[in-house]
Every structure is written in structure tokens, then in C-alpha cells.
Structure 1
Amino acid sequence: MRPADIDKLVSVSRPTVAPDGSFAIFATSRPDAAANRNVGQLWRVELDEPGAPRRLTRGVADSSPRLAPDGGLVAFLRGDEKKRPQLHVVAAAGGEPVQVTDQPLGVGSFDWAPDGARLAYSARVPEKGRYGSVEGLDADAEAPRRITGIRWHANGLGYIADRPAQVFVVDVPDVGAEPLYAPASSVLPEGAQAPKKPAVPAESIQVTSGVADHGSVVFSPDGSEVLTVVDEIEGHRRDLRSRLVAVRVDGSGEREVLGRTANLSLSDVVVAEDGAIAVLASDVGAEGIDFVAPGVALWLLEEGGPRRITDADTVDLGEVGSHITPLGDDFLVQNRTRGRVHLLRITRAGESAAVIGGDVEVGGQDAAGERIVATLARPDTFGELVLVENGSVRPLTDFGAELRRARLAPVRELTIDGRDGYPVHGWVAVPDGEGPHPVILMIHGGPYATYGIHPFDEVQTLVDAGYAVAYCNPRGSAGYGREHGRSIRQAMGTVDFADVLDFLDGAVASDDRLDGARVGVMGGSYGGYLTAWVIGHENRFAGAIVERGFLDPVSFQGTSDIGSFFGDEYVGIDSEAMQRQSPMAVVGKVRTPTLVLHSELDFRCPLEQATRYYSALKRNGVDAELLIFPGENHELTRSGQPRHRLERFDAVLDWWARKLPARA
């Protein structure tokens, strides 16, 4: 696979299934270098008739489809002329979509009312005079921001306090009604205002207010209330505990469903047909910030308080995008394990059965009756849709065909016994030919994240360029139980450091085609941290790439959007402990040529982490370069502008060609 082949990385959204189980609708997305954005549309696939899915919409980047309760309409998000995601509806059989909202900053989550007559959604409401709410008032002319809380910004968004997310309710338009027309120019009486074309058929009604954010919008079974998670900016100390409230759709008030005393941080909320409320949540403890290997579990909210259904120590429901799907009295959830994500069916008594297992990463699911439709990745495809029925799994799409034609390199799974006997699990990808090939050790972010079995563009492009790649899930990673994930809490750069080096050595020893004398190391975010830590203690590498790294715990506290709690839990707040785990503290020992990659608008690991680290390398005489991507945030390699993603690949391959040539 070459860098330009990223346009073949087609991801498939969480599907939505018709109530009678006859069809499903989903969205696709892929990078497009010519358009310089991710593009995609909605698709419909018939579940009782063999055949390829058909494209339902033709927008540039349509996403997040949800079928109405009767299956007749689909609500989805589509960017307007300013690329703001707005709610639209379209007939499930196809047709011209009708725009439902005209929110100045776009729409977030949404849900159908049980009767299908209304939609509830969340949308950020800008403070008057900010974010283009006053025509002609640019950002640099806005009033100053007074910050009094412990948080003020978020990666990929920017400032948060002056645009809280509120809940709105809107009537669903008639998709067969007469379109809205712009009035023609005419001579008007003196003082009369010229009529304007209405932006949307119906006005949205705001049902929440205040400075707190509201998310995870879910209707109650009778449609009289909307459940939403409230996120308030703390005054002095970070608190990850969530509040869940039920807001009356007539605007008459709200009631608390779950308070902070439950010590739960919520990531998903659903309401079953019988009214039972299930959540994905982790217990963050009495102090409210214990998030290391958080142990996300399935909980039921009952009269006596929340009841945990799954074992948080062994079942990990915290994969990004993980969600709950009611299925009769049971629930479908996604469990990540050893680089896979399996689909589980959980009873309310806590009994578990695998619905989809094996070499897959399940990304989303929906169900009607006993029919389950899921999206998943496999080693040979980035995303497909499958139907699960009567114990069998039937493919519904083949979006991976183009990717397979791009020549994916085979990947070998490997487990190495580390220096202390601990098993380190990972993979090795090797170019064609006998070698010996130079080897790059690649380290993932997180730390509580995981390398998986899906086609990984960063690995595949290196292999195509002639490099073997070793990549693993060291202690601190997800998918191997909470003890594995929590083992580096206030001990970063210890067993994780040993694990990645031991895996590299074991991979080289296991294959004569790998040249252990010619090695490089690279990683992003926490992987950037561990790369910088490695080269601060080892001089064996021909080169290193430190990308979007967590490099100085001290300055991170006051600059990162998670600085108010991340470092407190992972490295502690004691100055000696922070120094003991800081790459900046050992930067003077680095001798390895180092490329520092970062994004200008990264608020997760802010740009100052990179510039200070790079400046220290240069001051110490290290062969170092710095590459900064404008307009990008922490998610550059996953969802950045396609042209920037390609330019990043060019920079990475150029660096390795100069410091670790793959071929003579």
C-alpha cells in the first residue's frame, strides 16, 4: 500500500435497521485528496434480497443516519455551505433531502421521538458576538474571554465556555411538501423589509439553558422527556463524574436521573422499549478523576441505584465509538480484546455470549427482532457491513476490494516473553524479499489504546517502502484486562519501556529477514512520549520520529485540554515523580537524529510540547528537524486534511530514506 492509497480506506458507520428488519442504511467515509476532505454518502442495502447496496444520497459528506421509528424516513447530518453539520431528513426509499436545522455552529447528537413527529438534538449556542454570530465581526475583533473555570478549550473545537451545547426539539418536516423558494426582488413600500427565504421549514425550540454542555440526546419511551448528559466546567478541580438529567420537551423543567454521587463517567446512554435505562460508564472514584484504564462497563439504572452488569476488569467496553444496542431484554455491546473488538450479547443478569468473534474489529451495530447488522474491519478490509442471523454471519458489502488490489502486506502475530517474563503481544509486517530489512519500532498512543488487526496505513506504507515494522500493545494498553492497563499508573517509562524494546528484540530474533543492527523508532501522542523516552535512554536507533508527543508533564498541566487531570493520574503531581517520568528531563541524553512532527491546533498535546523539545535537541547539538502542520489538531493522522496526511507520509518516508535507507 502506498500513501496515495488512503483513498481506498473506506470506513462504514454504525448502521440503522428498519423496524421490520427488511433493510439497513449506513454511511461511508473515505479521504479524498482532490477534494481535500473526507467524503461519503448514505447507502441502503436490502437484507432479504442478494445484491449490492445502492447509494441513497449524493452529498459530499453525509453521516450519522438514523431511521425513524416507522422506518419511513432517515435523519442524518450534512454540512451546509459553511460545512456546519445540519440535520436533514430524506425518505428511506430515496429522494431529495430536506434540511431541518440551521444552527450557527452545527448539530451534534440527535434522536427521534417515539412517534416520529419530532427530533431532539444538541447544538452549541455561541455567545452573542462570537463565532460569526454578528456579521462583519471577525474573531480577532471579539471581546476578551474571561475564564474562571479549570477548563477553557478542547482539541478539535477550541474555546468551550462561550458556546455551550444545548438541547433543542424540532418538528419533522413533510418531505413531500412544496419546497421553500427565495422571493424575487420587488419594489417595496418605504421602510418595509424585503422577505427572505426561510432556511428551514420549522423553528427549533431550545429546551435547556445555562453554561453547561448537554450531550447524548435520547428520548424517553413516551416522548415527553429527553435524557441528556450534563457537563459543567469545574471551578477549581477537575471532576469526571457525570450527571444525567431528563428534560421536559415542553420546556417546563428537568429532573435528575443520575447524580455525581454515583461516581460514574458516562459515555453512552440508551432507553430500552420497557423504559429501562442502560449506560456505558466507568467508576471514577470518590475523587472523580480515576480514569487510568477506566474499566468501562454496562450498567442499568435502577431504583436502588446503578447496577453494573459486566465485569470491568475482564470485559473492556471502552473502544472509541462503542455503544449499546437494546435487543429485546438484552443488550449488544463491543468488547475489545487482544487487538480485536468482538460483539457481545449481554442479559440483564450479566450472562454473556459472543455474537461476532474472531479476527474482527466491530465498529457499530443495530438490530430489529433477532436480526443484527454490524459494521466491522478485518485484516483485509477497513470496513464492511454484515448481517448476523441464526448464528451465521453474512457479508453485505465488499468495500475492501480496492484496498486488497493495492497489495496489503501480510502481518504476522507474535507474542514475546519480556525480560521479566511478561508476555508482550503484537505484530510484525515484513516487505517482500529475503532482506535483511531495516526495522522500525512503532508505538501507539493512549496509553490506554490498542493496535488492532485492521489494515493500518502507517504500517503498510512503510512496508511498501522496504521497512519491516514491529508494533505491539505494551503494558498500559487496552484489551488485556485492567491490571495490564493500570500497570504504568505513576510509573510511565518503566515496564512499558521494557515491553516495546523486548518486543523489538524478540521480533528481530524470530525472523532472519530483519536487520537488528539497523533500527528506527517512532510514535504519536503517548507513542511520542515513549519514543522520546526510549531515545533518552538508548542510542541504538538510527533515527526517531516524535509525533504530537506528551513530552513535559509540568507545562502540560496548564496547556492541554486534559491537563487538569491526565498527568495527575498518570505521572502524579509530585515534582520529583514528574521529573522521573519526563522526556524533557532526559532530553540532554539524546543523541539520535530526531524528526519532531506536530499540528498547529493540537490542544491535546499542545504545540509548545514539540517546540520546547525540539529547541532542547538543537541546543544540545542533536540532528533534529521540526515539521508543523497548519490548521490541524491532534487527529491529523486519522481525520486530517487528506493532502496534509499525504504530506506527512512524504515527510516520514523522506526522513527514513535519509537516516535509515531501506535499499542500497
Structure 2
Amino acid sequence: MKKLKLEDLYKYSAVGDLHIFPGGKNFVFVRKTMNKKENQYESNIWLGNMKNEEVRQLTRGGKDGSPVVSPDGKSILFVSKRDKEAKGTGLYLLPLEGGESRLVKTLKGGFSSVSWIDSETVLFMTKHAPGEDPEKIEEDEPPEKKVYEIDRIPFVSNGAGFTENRVGHLYKMKLENGKMEPITAVGGDIESIVLSPERKSVAVITTEDREKRPIWSSLYLLDLQSETAKRIGDDSLSFYHCEWSDDSELFAVATDFKKGFPTNPFIVHVDLESFTLTTLAREMDLYFGNSLNSDVRGVSPNTSMKVVEGKLYSLVTAGSQIKLVSMDKEGKVEEIAVSSGSIDCFDVAGEELLLSEMTTTEPLEIYSLVKGKKKKLTSFNSWMKGIKLSKPEGFEVEASDGQKIEGWIMRPVDFEEGKKYPAVVEIHGGPKTAYGGGYIHEFQTLASEGYAVIYCNPRGSAGYGTDFADIRGHYGERDFEDIMEIVEYVINEYDFVDEERLGVTGGSYGGFMTNWIVGHTDAFKAAVSQRSISSWISFFGTTDIGYFFASDQTGGDFFDNLEGYLRQSPLMSAPNVVTPILFIHSLEDYRCWVPEAMQFFTALRHLGKEAKMVLFPKENHELSRGGLPIHREKRLRAILEWFDSYLKI
């Protein structure tokens, strides 16, 4: 059998954004691929039939996505950047009974949460600065003339750059002529909208003051006829998401941030007569949605939640598993499907269920699940047949404080009994994400190149409850111990792991932890720190989330808690570092900005330590998952070359 190659990265297909048509027979989804020659991604909309289990390509624009099926099932709206000359994103209308797609409108601020009010009118969100005409598309000033005038925070956004005070606004639009009409009853920065089944009311989630209350989002109920809005709940709750049932019941996902960002959200039912909220099954204490890691996704799911016949269906991260559960308005919970891999998105129609799902050895495909019978409907990644992969072996370790920690090891693909192998410890981001059933090309590449791969879900991870995830004010303490105790267990239990040839890497929080590890142990012979944090003080003031995330995670603002910021900053341990370390960072990563790598690299080189930095222009925090294809290849190659030079000697 052939081994996986690093450059096989270009062959993966990602699928998602599933929508079942009214009547439950047909469905649409988005397929995304890489074009190595053009160094870009291509996405198109596909049409499927659950009865004959066939799928076919519906659009060929190469930049098409976010399909929205009309109420009568006869047409779809979708967004696209297929017109390379357009200075924005287009909204297109495609009749399914024949004919070409038609451009309705192009907006510089794009289209999101597009919903059909009726066959002639749609509702949507777009971003622009207050007072700016969203329909006026002007040429951007060249860099040598551009000036940013900044008077509020946040002023940058990862993936978008300098925000220039752009916020989400709500509009109605006629499909025939593209005439837009603003709806101003709800202000702030509108994040999401969900139209009711009778198409007369809209649940609106907005952040009303992103500078003073950046993590608190309010829920409003908007009447489309009178264009008046009523707030639901008060300042004690922040809302993430809403879903209507087919009989106009409203469910929402909310949090009280009782333990800051580690707090798991919970479901509330909204009584639309009294506007009171009832909390449902909060004792579940699990994350609603999918928190598992993978680097072969690329298609945003339509949602991880839907209400059908009075029951809310939702994906839940439970440990390293993804479960699909249902919940009624009394809070009764039922498991519908439990994945040994990772369910990324779903849709439900009656007894028919559609899933996009992956495993640790198979990337995303679409499946139907009807009365317990599961069928695979797509085989876009069939090129992998005949390729030998490494299947993770799970284990559980009791940490020194008695807590159970999940871990995994992947043997090298060319594994031979009695032989010693170098190993790489991988640390996930977040910290509130998790490893589990997701397919990760990076891990399989390392295994194919002769490495054992070790990974775990230490304290701070999602899926194990709020208390498990709560490491606020204690970064580098219990989480560090969990990782090192996992490494110790692996060395003792798996005699093929060479403890003299250990490497460590991770991104975001995993990059922070890589930085922390090299300053607190000499157990590793090489390290690769990616999109990391090295100083909480600089992170606070230079990134899109720093001013509220750093305060939450470290125990307050740095001017009130300087000792805590310094104590939890890996930069302060630079003199202790003996491990050769490679820093990989994107120049437009405004989530963990490039000074985080630069200052640690500079300190280490100043102290005479072994360090190297690889910087990627025109990339952001999503380099490993959504960066330009050639940059993703070069990133993986840099990681392999660094580890090879220190662990294969």
C-alpha cells in the first residue's frame, strides 16, 4: 500500500452547508477543493437526491456557497465571488427548473444570514460603517494614500484586517431590481438573524456595545410589518444562536459567563406571549456545537442546530465524541446519533437525517440516516483508497490530582516491532477545543514520515464540563502537568517511543503551550510554535479579542494584575529555554499578532538560543486550515524539516 504524502493535501474535498428541500426529497450542499495550479480554493453547490442517492454539480462558478432554498423549493439564492472584476460579493438567484443563475446585487460588505421573506423579497445582513452607503462600491485607495482613523476598539478583525468601524446591518431587498431597504429597529453590531416560519418575525442577535461590553450579545424579536423590536432577556445573559420551530416556538443558546469564557452555554425556551425564558437541561454542562479539531474542513456548516416538530436538534461535544441530541421544551434530552468520528453539520426532515461526517482515517463525506440505517451518499475522497494510514489508539490516564485525561497515540505508518521512533506531541488550540474523531492531515503526514504522534485533551479542553475547561488565571499550571503526565505515560507504556527524540508543536493556545513547555522542561529536543502567544500584555493591546479575552483568562486587566500577566507569559522564561524552536506565524494574524512570535524569537536569539522564524504574508490565524494552498504546503514542509533536523539524527 502507498503512504500518504505531504502534497496530498491538495486532493481533499470538504463538504458541508447541508439544506434539505421542502418535502424532504432533494438537498443541496457545498463542496470545496484546492486548485494547486491557481493556488486557490474552489467551491460549488451540489444537488442531491435522498431517494436515488445521487448527487450532481449544480453551479460551476468556482466561488459559490451559502445556498438558501426558496420556500417552494423551486429556486435557490447563493453568494459568490465568481466575478473576478467585481469589488464585492454577489447574491445570485438560480431557478432549479431550468435557466442560468442571475446576479441580484453586489455588495462590498457581502451577504450573510440570507432568508426568503416571500418569493419576491429577501432579508439579509451586510457590514458597513455607520452612515456609509452599503451600495456605493468605490475603489480602495492605494496603500501609499490610505490612512486609518481609529477612535474605538476593536479596530482589527482576524481575516478582515482593519475594521474601520464596520458593523452588521439588517436589510430587506427586492429580488427583481435589487432595491434595498434598511431595517433600523435593532442597532449595534448585528451578528445573526433567524426568520420565523410564518416569515413575519425575526430573532436578531446583536452586540450593542462592542467596546464596553464586547462579549455580551442581546436577543431581540423584530416584527417585520411594524418594524418594531422587543428585547428578550436582560444584561445577565449573552446569546449565541436562535432557532424557530415549525410552529413558531423559539429556542436560543445563551450563557451567563458565570465562569468566564469556559462557561458552557445552555438552551433557553422563549415564551413569546410573556417573553419569559426557561432554561433547559443546564445540567448537561456540555458545549452545543462541534469543538473537535480537523485541518480538512473549509466549508462553514449551515448550523449545528435545528428545530423540527417542536424538538430542538443539536450537535454536542461530549468528551472526544460528537453527539446529535434532541430536546423538547420541557428539557427532555434524547440521543439521536453518536459519532465515532466527527459530525460537522446536519439537517432533518421528518424521519430523514443528513450528516456531513468524518473519522480519524476518512475525511468528510455526506451520509443519510433513516430509521437507524446509515448510507454514504458521496465519495469525493475515494482517492485515499489504497493509502496506508495510521489509526489512533486511545487511552485514559489518571492525572496526579485524580482527574481522568483522554489521550491518543498514532504509530508510524511503517511501524516495526522492536524499533524506536521519534515522536511529536501535538497540542490543540482554544484552549476550549478538543481532539477526537476529526481527520487531521498534519498528524497523518507525520505518521507517514516515520513519527509517532501523541495528543490529548488536557484541562482547558471542551467536552468535559465547565470546571474542566476553567484554567483562568492558571495557564501553564494544571494544563502543563496534564500534558507532561500524558507524555510520561506514553514513554512508559509504548516502548517504541524514543524519549530522547521528542518534539512538541501546537497552534494558538497550543502555540502558547509550546512556548511555555520549552521554558519549563528540557524533555523535548525540538519545538514548533505556531500562531502563538508569548506575552499576555502585548496580546491584550494588539489583537482583535485581546482586550477582553486576556482579561478573562488571566484574572483581570494587566494594570490591575501585572504579576499575573507576567507569571503566565512564556516570554518571561526565555532564559530557561534549551530546546531549539521554530516560530511559524502569519503577518496578518490579528488573533495572535506576529509580535508574539517576534519578541520571543528576538529574546531567544539575544540570549544565544537556537531559534528560527518562518513568516507567511497575506495569511491570518487560519493558515493551517484555510491559508493559501501553497502556503499550507510550505508550512507543513517547514515543520517536517525542523523536526527531521533534530529528531532524525
TM-score, length basis structure 1: 0.89
Question: Is the counterpart of residue 92 in structure 1 residue 96 in structure 2?
Answer: yes
Q: Is the contact between residue 376 and residue 385 of structure 1 (CA under 8 Å) also seen in structure 2? A: yes
- Residue number in structure 1 paired with 2:468: 484
Cα 1:403–1:294 shift into 2, 3 Å = farther
Question: Is the counterpart of residue 154 in structure 1 residue 157 in structure 2?
Answer: yes
Whole-angstrom CA distance in 2 between matches of 1:412 and 1:22: 39
Cα 1:608–1:283 shift into 2, 3 Å = same
- Residue number in structure 2 paired with 1:37: 40
Question: Is the counterpart of residue 584 in structure 1 residue 588 in structure 2?
Answer: no
The counterpart of 1:298, out of the listed 255, 267, 277, is 267
- 1:97 positional shift: 1.5
Q: Is the contact between residue 189 and residue 210 of structure 2 (CA under 8 Å) also seen in structure 1? A: no
Q: Is the contact between residue 150 and residue 238 of structure 1 (CA under 8 Å) also seen in structure 2? A: no
Aligned length: 624
Amino acid at match of 1:305: T
Partner of 1:587, secondary structure, is helix
Whole-angstrom CA distance in 1 between matches of 2:27 and 2:424: 42
Q: Deviations over 1:465-515 (max 9, x none)?
A: 1111101110110011222111x1211111110111111221222222211
Cα 1:304–1:230 shift into 2, 3 Å = closer
Contiguous gaps of at least 5 residues in structure 1:
174-200
Q: Deviations over 1:571-590 (max 9, x none)?
A: 11311122221101111111
Q: How do 1:59-458 and structure 2 match up within 5 A?
A: 59-79=61-81, 80-81=83-84, 82=86, 84-92=88-96, 95-113=99-117, 115-126=118-129, 133-135=137-139, 137-147=141-151, 149-173=152-176, 201-208=177-184, 212-235=188-211, 237-249=212-224, 253-261=227-235, 263-285=236-258, 290-302=259-271, 303=274, 305-311=276-282, 313-319=284-290, 323-431=304-412, 432-434=414-416, 435-458=419-442
Q: Is the contact between residue 107 and residue 137 of structure 2 (CA under 8 Å) also seen in structure 1? A: no
Q: Is the contact between residue 280 and residue 324 of structure 1 (CA under 8 Å) also seen in structure 2? A: no
Partner of 1:479, secondary structure, is coil
Amino acid at match of 2:18: P
Contiguous gaps of at least 5 residues in structure 2:
292-300
Q: How do 1:640-659 and structure 2 match up within 5 A?
A: 640-659=627-646
Partner of 2:17, secondary structure, is coil
Whole-angstrom CA distance in 1 between matches of 2:497 and 2:616: 33
Q: Deviations over 1:161-210 (max 9, x none)?
A: 5322211212234xxxxxxxxxxxxxxxxxxxxxxxxxxx4222222389
Partner of 1:53, secondary structure, is strand
Q: Is the contact between residue 381 and residue 399 of structure 1 (CA under 8 Å) also seen in structure 2? A: no
Cα 1:129–1:254 shift into 2, 3 Å = closer
Cα 1:643–1:106 shift into 2, 3 Å = same
Q: How do 1:18-29 and structure 2 match up within 5 A?
A: 18-29=21-32
- Residue number in structure 2 paired with 1:533: 516
Whole-angstrom CA distance in 2 between matches of 1:116 and 1:362: 33
The counterpart of 1:619, out of the listed 606, 611, 633, is 606
Amino acid at match of 1:202: G
The counterpart of 2:617, out of the listed 630, 634, 642, is 630
Q: Is the contact between residue 124 and residue 172 of structure 2 (CA under 8 Å) also seen in structure 1? A: yes
Amino acid at match of 1:30: T
- 1:376 positional shift: 1.4
Q: Deviations over 1:22-78 (max 9, x none)?
A: 11111111333223222121111111114x311111121221222111111122221
Q: Is the contact between residue 380 and residue 404 of structure 1 (CA under 8 Å) also seen in structure 2? A: no
Q: Is the contact between residue 312 and residue 482 of structure 1 (CA under 8 Å) also seen in structure 2? A: no
Partner of 2:630, secondary structure, is helix
Amino acid at match of 1:74: I
Amino acid at match of 1:119: V
Cα 1:335–1:42 shift into 2, 3 Å = same
Cα 1:446–1:17 shift into 2, 3 Å = same
Partner of 1:652, secondary structure, is helix
Q: Is the contact between residue 128 and residue 134 of structure 1 (CA under 8 Å) also seen in structure 2? A: no
- Residue number in structure 1 paired with 2:59: 57
Whole-angstrom CA distance in 2 between matches of 1:518 and 1:328: 56
Amino acid at match of 1:306: L
Amino acid at match of 2:115: D
- Residue number in structure 2 paired with 1:176: none
Whole-angstrom CA distance in 2 between matches of 1:420 and 1:339: 21
TM-score, length basis structure 2: 0.91
Q: Is the contact between residue 155 and residue 561 of structure 1 (CA under 8 Å) also seen in structure 2? A: yes
Partner of 2:288, secondary structure, is coil
Amino acid at match of 2:14: S
- Residue number in structure 2 paired with 1:197: none
Q: Is the contact between residue 288 and residue 316 of structure 2 (CA under 8 Å) also seen in structure 1? A: yes
Whole-angstrom CA distance in 2 between matches of 1:417 and 1:210: 50
Moved more, 202-211 or 304-313: 202-211
Q: Is the contact between residue 279 and residue 324 of structure 1 (CA under 8 Å) also seen in structure 2? A: no
Partner of 1:538, secondary structure, is coil
- 1:295 positional shift: 0.7
Partner of 1:101, secondary structure, is strand
Whole-angstrom CA distance in 2 between matches of 1:269 and 1:101: 27
Whole-angstrom CA distance in 1 between matches of 2:138 and 2:132: 7
Cα 1:315–1:270 shift into 2, 3 Å = same
Q: Deviations over 1:212-262 (max 9, x none)?
A: 321312223333343322223445x44422122344546x6431232542x
Q: Is the contact between residue 7 and residue 633 of structure 2 (CA under 8 Å) also seen in structure 1? A: yes
Amino acid at match of 1:308: T
Partner of 1:14, secondary structure, is strand
Partner of 1:20, secondary structure, is coil
- 1:626 positional shift: 0.7
Cα 1:104–1:292 shift into 2, 3 Å = closer
- 1:610 positional shift: 0.9
Q: Is the contact between residue 245 and residue 311 of structure 2 (CA under 8 Å) also seen in structure 1? A: no
Cα 1:380–1:508 shift into 2, 3 Å = same
Cα 1:38–1:534 shift into 2, 3 Å = same
Q: Is the contact between residue 245 and residue 254 of structure 1 (CA under 8 Å) also seen in structure 2? A: no
Q: Deviations over 1:373-400 (max 9, x none)?
A: 1211123322121222223222222233
- 1:324 positional shift: 1.8
Cα 1:462–1:471 shift into 2, 3 Å = same
Cα 1:146–1:420 shift into 2, 3 Å = closer
- Residue number in structure 1 paired with 2:296: none
Whole-angstrom CA distance in 1 between matches of 2:352 and 2:389: 32
Moved more, 452-461 or 520-529: 452-461
Cα 1:138–1:247 shift into 2, 3 Å = farther
Cα 1:445–1:144 shift into 2, 3 Å = closer
Partner of 1:474, secondary structure, is coil
Q: Is the contact between residue 6 and residue 445 of structure 2 (CA under 8 Å) also seen in structure 1? A: yes
Q: Is the contact between residue 186 and residue 229 of structure 2 (CA under 8 Å) also seen in structure 1? A: no
